[in-house]
C-alpha cells in the first residue's frame, strides 16, 4: 500500500493558503460541534413592591382628606371621604342630608315604640309582682288558719272523747254537738287546704306571667336593636358617600388627592408602604410555549426602560418561583422605539395566557460605574431569559437532525 501524501498544490504558488483554509475548516467544524449558542426570549416585566399597597378603584368627589404624606396610619384609620351623589332631594336638601334625616326619624320612631311598649310591659310586670306578693300574704294567713283548724280539730276530738267517757252522766245532745263541732273543724280544715292549693296555683300562674313578661322585655330589647340596625342598614344602602380607611398599618408615601377634585376608579388615590425593608420583586410573564425551558433558580437579565440597555447594560437577577398554571394576559406595555401598529403579525401565541415568574432584586439601586440610580416600584423592564441552548452544528443541521430523530 502506497503512502498518501498531502496535496502540494503545485498549480498554486501560494500553497500555504490551501493549508490554512483546510485548517480553518477543521477548526470551524470542531468549534461548531462543541460551542453552544444561547437562544434568548425577551418578556415584559414590572417592578413591584410586596410592602406597597395602592388605594385604587374608588371614584367620587374628594370631600375630606384626613392624612397626608408621610403620615403613619393604623389599620382601619380613615384616609379620605368621597361624595358620589350631588343631587337634591325633596325640600331642597342634599341627598345625603335627606337620607340622614330619614334615618334619624326612623330611629326616633323606633325609640318611641320601644319606650311605650317597655312602659306597658313594666306595668304588667309590676302588677304581676304585686299580685304575687298579695297571694303570698294570703298564703301565710291560710297557713295560720290551717294551724288553728288543726288545733280546733284536736280540741274537738279531746272534748268528744271526754264526753264519751262520761256518756252516762251527760245528755246525748252534748255528745252529738261535740261530734258536730269535730266534723265542722274537719270541713274548715279541708276548705283551708283547698284555698291554700288555689293560692299556690295562682302564685305559680303569676310567676309564669312574670317570666313571660321578662322574656317579652328581652325580645323588645332585641327588636329595638334590630330596628335601629335596619334603619342604619337602609341608610348605608342608600348612602353613596364613602369613607376610605387604611387596610393595613404603614406610612403614606404618596397622595394625589386634592379637596374638591374628582377621583376616577383608575386613579391611584394613595400609596401605603407597610415595610420599607422588604426587597423589590419583578413580575415576569412567560409565554406558554416557552415555559418548558424556564426553571426556578435560572438567571435572567433585566433591561430597564428607564436605563437604556445600550448605555447602562442589564441587571442580573434570579428566578425565585414560577406559577403552576397560566393566568390571564395583561395589557402589554409598549416597547420603546417600537410601534405596536407596525407589528400586526406579532407572535400571537405570546399574547394569550402566560405563566407568572417572580424575581427578587438584590437591592433597590441600579449601579452604573460610580453612580447609583433608584429602582422604583412600577418601573417597566424587559427580561432576557435563556430558553434554549444548541451547538452551531445543531442549528445548521437541524433539518438533518429532524430526519434522524424521525
Write down the pLDDT at residue 67.
Answer: 92
Residue among 239, 237, 223, 228 nearest 109 (CA): 228
Instruction: Please classify residue 202 by burial: count the beta carbons closer than 10 Å to its beta carbon, then call 0-12 exposed, 13-18 middle and 19+ buried.
Output: middle
Write down the pLDDT at residue 349.
Answer: 45
The answer to whether 387 and 286 have CB atoms below 8 angstroms apart is: no
Q: How many helices (H) and strands (E) does the chain have?
A: 6, 16
Domain residue ranges in the chain: 34-49+278-340+347-405, 54-84+241-271, 95-238
Q: How far apart are the first and last CA of the chain?
A: 42
Task: Decide: helix, strand or coil at residue 279.
Answer: coil
* Alpha-carbon span 301 to 213, nearest angstrom: 78
Task: Decide: helix, strand or coil at residue 251.
Answer: strand
Write down the pLDDT at residue 249.
Answer: 92
* Alpha-carbon span 317 to 385, nearest angstrom: 11
| CATH class of residue range 95-238 | mainly alpha
Write down the pLDDT at residue 339.
Answer: 46
Query: Which residues of the chain have a pLDDT value below 70?
Result: 1-16, 38, 86-91, 170, 237-239, 328-352, 388-389, 395, 406
Task: Decide: helix, strand or coil at residue 386.
Answer: strand
DSSP structure string for 315-373:
EEEEEEEE-SS-BPPPPPPPPTT--GGG-TT--GGGGS-EEEEEEE-S-SEEEETTEEE
Q: What is 54-84+241-271's CATH topology?
A: OB fold (Dihydrolipoamide Acetyltransferase, E2P) (2.40.50)
Write down the pLDDT at residue 341.
Answer: 42
**Cis omega (within 30 of 0) on the bond before 153?**
no
Q: What sign does the CA torsion over 100, 101, 103, 107 have? A: positive
Q: Which residues pair with 390 in a beta bridge?
A: 37
Q: What is 34-49+278-340+347-405's CATH topology?
A: Elongation Factor Tu (Ef-tu); domain 3 (2.40.30)
Amino acid at each position: 500500500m502506497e503512502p498518501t501524501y498531502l496535496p502540494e498544490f503545485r498549480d498554486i504558488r501560494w500553497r500555504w493558503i490551501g493549508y490554512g483554509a483546510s485548517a480553518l475548516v477543521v477548526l470551524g467544524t470542531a468549534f461548531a460541534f462543541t460551542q453552544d449558542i444561547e437562544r434568548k426570549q425577551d418578556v415584559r416585566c414590572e417592578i413591584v413592591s410586596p410592602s406597597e399597597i395602592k388605594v385604587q378603584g374608588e371614584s367620587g368627589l374628594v370631600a375630606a382628606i384626613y392624612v397626608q404624606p408621610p403620615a403613619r396610619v393604623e389599620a382601619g384609620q380613615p384616609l379620605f371621604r368621597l361624595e358620589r351623589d350631588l343631587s337634591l332631594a325633596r325640600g331642597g336638601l342634599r341627598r345625603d342630608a335627606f337620607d340622614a334625616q330619614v334615618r334619624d326619624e326612623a330611629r326616633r320612631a323606633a325609640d318611641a315604640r320601644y319606650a311605650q311598649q317597655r312602659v306597658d310591659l313594666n306595668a304588667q310586670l309590676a302588677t304581676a309582682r304585686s299580685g304575687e306578693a298579695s297571694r303570698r300574704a294570703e298564703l301565710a294567713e291560710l297557713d295560720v288558719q290551717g294551724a288553728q283548724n288543726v288545733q280546733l280539730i284536736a280540741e274537738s276530738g279531746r272534748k268528744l272523747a271526754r264526753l264519751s267517757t262520761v256518756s252516762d252522766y251527760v245528755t246525748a245532745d252534748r255528745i252529738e254537738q261535740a261530734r258536730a263541732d269535730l266534723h265542722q273543724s274537719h270541713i274548715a280544715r279541708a276548705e283551708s287546704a283547698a284555698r291554700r292549693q288555689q293560692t299556690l296555683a295562682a302564685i305559680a300562674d303569676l310567676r309564669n306571667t312574670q317570666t313571660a313578661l321578662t322574656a317579652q322585655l328581652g325580645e323588645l330589647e332585641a327588636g329595638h336593636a334590630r330596628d335601629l340596625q335596619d334603619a342604619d342598614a337602609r341608610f348605608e344602602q342608600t348612602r353613596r358617600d364613602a369613607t376610605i380607611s387604611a387596610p393595613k398599618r404603614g406610612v403614606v408615601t404618596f397622595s394625589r388627592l386634592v379637596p374638591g377634585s374628582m377621583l376616577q376608579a383608575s386613579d391611584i388615590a394613595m400609596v401605603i408602604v407597610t415595610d420599607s425593608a422588604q426587597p423589590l420583586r419583578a413580575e415576569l410573564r412567560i409565554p406558554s410555549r416557552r415555559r418548558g425551558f424556564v426553571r426556578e433558580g435560572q438567571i435572567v437579565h433585566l433591561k430597564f426602560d428607564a436605563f437604556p440597555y445600550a448605555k447602562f447594560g442589564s441587571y442580573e437577577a434570579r428566578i425565585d418561583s414560577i406559577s403552576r398554571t397560566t393566568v390571564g394576559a395583561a395589557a402589554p406595555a409598549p416597547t420603546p422605539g417600537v410601534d405596536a401598529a407596525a407589528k400586526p403579525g406579532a407572535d400571537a401565541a405570546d399574547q394569550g395566557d402566560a405563566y407568572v415568574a417572580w424575581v427578587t432584586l438584590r437591592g433597590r439601586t441600579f449601579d452604573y460605574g460610580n453612580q447609583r440610580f433608584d429602582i422604583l416600584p412600577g418601573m417597566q423592564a424587559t427580561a432576557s431569559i435563556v430558553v434554549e441552548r444548541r451547538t452551531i452544528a445543531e442549528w445548521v443541521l437541524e433539518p438533518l437532525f429532524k430526519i434522524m430523530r424521525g
